[in-house]
């Protein structure tokens, strides 16, 4: 019955799509912003030789740089203005949210409402500038010595001027992407930062599939293995779609109220608790924290390799934290589990929910209002979050571990699929919400017109 209602609502929404002018404007704005993002990924940093850089990158491809290149939509391999993408912004958001949970001063700012949120966003922007400057400087230094052993120079004129220009350009590119994501969120459809990451992943999908089929044509990978990868990807998509809609519905009952007809009636509703409350945030946070030191060490290793013990330490770090290694997978899994519980605690507050229920006269059958309700909600949320964390860890780790062990050059693993499917589902849900709001708006206008005619 519920599926028929959803199908009917979907058909009505599609029928009203041509009349929803505000929704069409939002969709066009989102599409235009993503096109601008893709254009910027082809604008190189000043002082870079694109031909030499492409040659050097093809020689050193593989490992963590390819993963970072996938998230940035190929911007890293071209060393464009947005080579760092939105990862510094995400890392700064992690730091600010952690600080807000640990620092009483920041926690008080967070409770100030809209003004407090603006202050924390401002701190996040300052942190983004600082992180981008640090990462940009290491990347600039690494580019100057990139390919020194092979006799190819990626930088036309190395020196302090190039470093300053590269850092300023990378800061400008990252801040522009951050602003573009905020504009998509407020004036477009969906979460802007998530859509930018998804657009980068989708842009690399044809290249990745082309490399996979090329390897199959050359005989380095069997056709049966390629079919298994495709079947695995389809199965993961179905699992993601099922788990993202899974929820635990807590029954909420309100006391009996007398209606106009004198009938005592008790209201009932449900509090939906999603199994994966954190969404795609844990994998993005965990990967961004791992990519930050690994990217710096990867580029720094080009500079100090073979010169001192520091060079040996950097090379050892890159070896142990290589993509697909047990250390990398273990840290990645722990990061996903940690951020799943952390972000769920940030998004859902059992104490506040219990107070709201008590204030409105609602209660959970068999549970006393107040502290007992808070403990029960925390109990339920903790247990379904265990399932959600296990699901995220499985989706992100198992496919990438299998692909890394098989030696397949396929860098769109479970994390990328999770981001693409989740962001797509959320965006489609928002589109349907806008269509239904437009439909009900038309019904309200018609009802007002009929009332005036009478």
Residue 151, pLDDT score? 65
Does residue 161 lie within any of the structural domains? yes
* Measured distance CA(203)–CA(212) in Å, rounded: 16
pLDDT value at position 83?
84
In a domain, 365, yes or no: yes
Identify which of 32-41, 211-220, 317-326, 424-433 has the greatest average pLDDT: 32-41
Mapping DSSP to helix (H, G, I), strand (E, B) and coil, where does residue 271 land? Answer: strand
Which pLDDT does position 157 carry in this prediction? 81
Q: What is the pLDDT of residue 385?
A: 92
Asked if residues 82 and 173 have their Cβ atoms less than 8 Å apart, the reply is yes
Rounded Cα distance between 292 and 286, Å, is 10
Averaged confidence pLDDT in the chain: 78
Range of the domain at 334: 20-203+223-440
245 found inside a domain: yes
Q: What is the mean pLDDT of residues 159-168?
A: 89
**What is the C-alpha to C-alpha distance for residues 184 and 378, in angstroms, rounded to an integer?**
34
Residue 9 in this model has a pLDDT that exceeds 60:
no
Least confident span in 301-310, 342-351, 442-451: 301-310
* Residue 218 domain flag: no
323 has pLDDT over 50: yes
- Euclidean distance between CA atoms 6 and 436, whole angstroms: 12
HSE at residue 145, side-chain half, CA atoms within 13 A, is: 14
pTM of the model: 0.76
CA distance linking residue 286 with residue 67, whole number of Å = 13
- Residue 5 lies inside a defined structural domain of this protein: no
Taking the C-alpha atoms of 179, 182, 184 and 186 in order, what is their torsion angle to the nearest 10 degrees? Answer: -140
3-state secondary structure of 414: helix
What is the per-residue pLDDT for 306? 46
Q: What is the pLDDT of residues 53-105, one digit of tens each?
A: 777 666 555 555 566 666 666 677 778 888 888 888 888 887 888 788 778 88
Give me the pLDDT at residue 452, please. 52
pLDDT of 453 > 60? The answer is no
Query: How far is it, in rounded angstroms, from Cα 326 to Cα 331?
Result: 9
Kindly state the average pLDDT of the residues 433-438.
76
Domain count for the chain: 1
Q: What is the mean pLDDT of residues 260-282?
A: 75
Q: What is the pLDDT of residue 7?
A: 53
> What is Dmax (Cα atoms) for the chain?
91
CA dist 118 to 113, 285, 345, Å? 9, 21, 21
- pLDDT, residue 448, reads 57
Crossing angle between the packed helical segments 114-145 and 160-187, to the nearest 10 degrees: 140
pLDDT tens by residue, 114-136: 788 888 889 999 999 999 998 88
The most confident of 65-79, 243-257, 317-331, by mean pLDDT: 243-257
For residue 236, what pLDDT is reported? 85
pLDDT at 176 over 90: yes
Flag whether 63 is in a domain.
yes
Task: Please report which helix (H) or strand (E) contains residue 253, including its range.
Answer: strand 247-253
Q: In angstroms, what CA-CA distances link 142 with 86, 155, 158, 166, 319?
A: 21, 10, 11, 12, 18
CATH number for the domain spanning 380: value is 1.10.3370.10
pLDDT tens by residue, 22-44: 888 888 999 999 999 988 888 88
Whether 152 maps to a domain, the answer reads: yes
For 412-417, which contacts have Cβ atoms below 8 Å and span 24 or more sequence positions? 412/70, 412/201, 412/204, 412/205, 412/208, 414/236, 415/283, 415/287, 416/70, 416/201, 417/233, 417/236, 417/237, 417/240
pLDDT value for 171: 93
Residue 111 lies in a domain: yes
């Amino acid at each position: 019955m519920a599926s028929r209602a959803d199908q009917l609502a979907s058909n009505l929404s599609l029928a009203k799509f041509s009349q929803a002018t505000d929704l069409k404007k939002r969709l066009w704005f989102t599409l235009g912003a993503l096109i601008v993002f893709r254009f910027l990924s082809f604008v190189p940093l000043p002082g870079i030789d694109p031909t030499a850089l492409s040659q050097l990158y093809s020689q050193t491809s593989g490992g963590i740089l390819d993963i970072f290149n996938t998230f940035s939509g190929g911007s890293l391999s071209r060393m464009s203005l947005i080579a760092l993408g939105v990862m510094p912004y995400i890392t700064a958001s992690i730091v600010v949210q952690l600080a807000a949970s640990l620092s009483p001063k920041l926690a008080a700012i967070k409770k100030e409402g809209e003004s407090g949120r603006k202050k924390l966003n401002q701190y996040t922007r300052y942190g983004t500038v600082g992180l981008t400057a640090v990462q940009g400087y290491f990347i600039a230094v690494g580019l100057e010595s990139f390919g020194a052993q092979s006799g190819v120079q990626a930088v036309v004129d190395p020196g302090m001027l190039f470093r300053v220009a590269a850092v300023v350009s990378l800061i400008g590119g990252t801040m522009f992407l951050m602003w573009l994501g905020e504009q998509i969120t407020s004036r477009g459809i969906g979460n802007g930062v998530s859509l930018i990451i998804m657009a980068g992943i989708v842009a690399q999908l044809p290249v990745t599939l082309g490399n996979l089929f090329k390897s199959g044509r050359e005989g380095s990978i069997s056709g049966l293995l390629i079919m298994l990868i495709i079947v695995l990807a389809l199965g993961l998509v179905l699992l993601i779609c099922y788990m993202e809609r899974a929820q635990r519905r807590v029954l909420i009952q309100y006391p009996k109220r007398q209606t106009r007809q004198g009938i005592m009636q008790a209201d009932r509703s449900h509090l939906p608790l999603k199994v994966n409350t954190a969404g795609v945030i844990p994998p993005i946070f965990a990967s961004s924290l791992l990519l930050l030191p690994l990217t710096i060490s990867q580029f720094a290793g080009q500079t100090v390799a073979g010169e001192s013990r520091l060079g040996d330490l950097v090379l050892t770090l890159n070896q142990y934290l290589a993509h697909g290694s047990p250390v990398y997978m273990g840290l990645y899994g722990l990061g996903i589990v940690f951020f799943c519980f952390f972000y769920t605690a940030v998004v859902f507050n059992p104490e506040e929910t219990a107070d709201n229920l008590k204030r409105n006269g609602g209660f959970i059958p068999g549970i006393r209002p107040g502290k007992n309700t808070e403990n029960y909600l925390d109990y339920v949320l903790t247990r379904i979050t265990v399932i959600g964390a296990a699901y995220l860890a499985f989706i992100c780790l198992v496919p990438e571990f299998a692909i890394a062990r098989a030696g397949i050059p396929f860098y769109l693993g479970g994390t990328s699929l999770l981001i693409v499917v989740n962001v797509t589902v959320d965006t489609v849900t928002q589109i349907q919400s806008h269509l239904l709001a437009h439909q009900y708006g038309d019904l309200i206008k018609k009802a007002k017109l009929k009332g005036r005619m009478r």
